[in-house]
Structure formats: structure tokens, C-alpha cells
Amino acid sequence: MKGLLRNVLMSAALVGICSGVVGHAQAAEQINPSLTPNKILNVAHRGASGHAPEHTLLSYELGQQMKGDYIEVDLQMTKDGELIAMHDETLDRTTNGTGLVKNYTLKEIKQLDTGSWFNETYPQYAKDEYVGLKVPTLEEVIEKFGKGARYYIETKSPEVYPGMEEKLLEILDEYKLTGPNVPSNKVIIQSFSPESLKKVHSLNPYIPLVQLLWYDGPATITDAELEVYKTYSIGLGMNFNTIDEAYVQKVREHGLLIHPYTVNEKSDMRKLLDWGVTGMFTNFPDRLQEVLREANKITLKGNR
């Protein structure tokens, strides 16, 4: 009987999402209690990328060890249509290759070293084991961390990669992280591109989405803009040093989550938590974990 009631309530919440009767963040919370604004998300930005080369399995592993709630994965697409974990459209900054990712096959990209640049750029964090690390595919990441992890995945430059969203959803379905009528808190999809998020939303309205924003100066946002974002997303992410308490409160009042990026100093973490953010991206999930413990905050991994 309890199970039946739960199923009825869940169906009602799903109908609410589709019909727009229930706000997205509230509906997401009904389906995924872990996405309640009361639980602060510690998102390991490109893994624990302050400690290890970004977007490597080692960096993601460290993020998990440091109690990050989500592994953040930026996606690029190879010439032969494979999704890889990489921030830039070009290979130059984080590998010993050069040129656009889209001009190389996965086999060619797999020849590259994505660890040595880190040792040269951050000698204070350098380790021999980072030399020769390979660029992982999204599938390799999911195979390694499985359903025991949560993934906060960004469609990067979707206008450059037609079919990126379809490929992503195919992989998530294949690994049973999403599926028809299978709501999950295992995956959040984020993008700076509203078109990309709306496409994902049209293909699968049950995946929680976060709209990323970039401000060149002090951030402002209107009620009308927030209402538009609410039609397809559960939250917003923006460069943290452009917002203030009033901005955070306004986003929250509209029932949206707010996950600023990329917050690496404890003083900034404390300030943002005081203002009411519901999570943040950090290269140092260990630092955020310490701040959350000090602040007696509830997190997905059980801090209080």
C-alpha cells in the first residue's frame, strides 16, 4: 500500500513536470529528495583539479575520496563521434597535442599525455604518476565510477558538435543512469547553451538541468528571465565573484537551485553559504568539505 501511494505521488510529480503545473526545482525535489535546496552540493570541478590534472580518472577519484557529491565532466566530441572528458575545444592547454579536438579520432587522442602539463604548471602539486595520463572517454568514466557516483555533465560547444546531446543521452541510458520514466539524481546536465539544454529537455524531461551563465560585471537577473529558466531547468550556475546576496536570494525565491563556479578559497565558500547558495563547483572539494563541516551543513554525503 505504501509502495502504491509512493508510485501515485511520483506519477503526479512527473505529470507536474511535463505539464508545467509544478515548478521545476520543486518537482525535482519531489522526485529526487537529494536535490532539495537544504542539501548543499559539493561539486568536484573537473575532479579534484586543484590537486591533480583536470578531467583524468585520477582527478575524479581524488574528488570522490574528498567527498565531492558530484564529479563534474566537461564534454568534447572527437572526429569519429566519441564523447571525451575535456574542457577546451583544443588539445593545446591540457595535452601534448595541438589543434581542435573535432579534427582528431579517439585513437589519435588516446596517444596524447594529459598529465605532464599539470606537473609543469603546478610544480607544488606535481607527481610522477601524472606523467602519461590518458584522456578518458565519458564511457570510461562511467565504467570506472559506476552508479555509486553522481555526474554533473556539461555539453561544451554544442553548436560545434551536432548530435552531442543524443550521444550523451544514449550513453546515460545504456549505463542505466537515466531512462524513460526513471528519474535519477545520478546525473545533472549543465550548459551555457540554452538551446542544448532545451534539446535535452525535449528528449528526456526527467533529467535535472542547470543553466550556466557568465557575467562580465556585477550580475543582475530579472524575474522574467528567472521564469524562463524555470521552464526547463532546476537551477543556475554562474561565475561566483559577480553575484551578491540579493542575487542569490532572488534566484532562491524563484525556486531555483544556485551553484556558483569556481570557488576555491574558504573565505569565498563561507560567504556564499551565508548568502544561501545550494552548492558550488570547486577545484578543492576537500576545502569545501571542511567549510561545510564547520558550518554544520547537511550535504548529500551526510555532513551535518
Identify what 237 binds: ligand G3P, Ca ion, none; CB under 5 to 8 Å per kind. Answer: ligand G3P
Task: Tell me whether residue 55 is one of the annotated catalytic residues.
Answer: no
**Contact call for residue 153 and ligand G3P (CB under 6 A):** no
Question: Smallest Cα–Cα separation from 136: which of 170, 102, 86?
Answer: 86
**Contact call for residue 261 and ligand G3P (CB under 6 A):** yes
DSSP 224-262: HHHHHHHTT-SEEEEBGGG--HHHHHHHHHTT-EE--B-
Which listed residue (212, 221, 269, 288) binds ligand G3P by CB under 6 A?
Answer: 212
Question: 180 exposed, middle or buried (CB, 10 Å; 0-12, 13-18, 19+)?
Answer: exposed
Q: Interacting stretch for Ca ion, rule CB under 5 A, among 9-17, 77-85, 114-122, 152-160?
A: 152-160
**Contact call for residue 29 and ligand G3P (CB under 6 A):** no
Task: Tell me whether residue 51 is one of the annotated catalytic residues.
Answer: no
Q: How far apart, in whole angstroms, are the C-alpha atoms of residue 210 and residue 208?
A: 7
Helix, strand or coil for residue 154?
Answer: strand
Question: How far is C-alpha 127 from the chain's CA centre?
Answer: 27
Q: Hey, which residues between 231 and 250 contact Ca ion (CB under 5 A)?
A: none
Identify what 187 binds: ligand G3P, Ca ion, none; CB under 5 to 8 Å per kind. Answer: none
Contact 153, 187 (CB under 8 A): yes
Residue with cell 566530441: 77
**Contact call for residue 178 and ligand G3P (CB under 6 A):** no
Which listed residue (74, 82, 165, 286) binds Ca ion by CB under 5 A?
Answer: 74
Q: C-beta of 72: minimal distance to Ca ion in Å? A: 6
Given the residues 51, 87, 201, 259, select the one marked as catalytic: 87
**Contact call for residue 190 and ligand G3P (CB under 6 A):** yes
Contact 237, 211 (CB under 8 A): yes
Binding positions for Ca ion, rule: CB under 5 A: 74, 154
Binding positions for ligand G3P, rule: CB under 6 A: 45, 74, 87, 154, 190, 212, 237, 261-262, 281
Give catalytic residue positions.
Answer: 45, 87
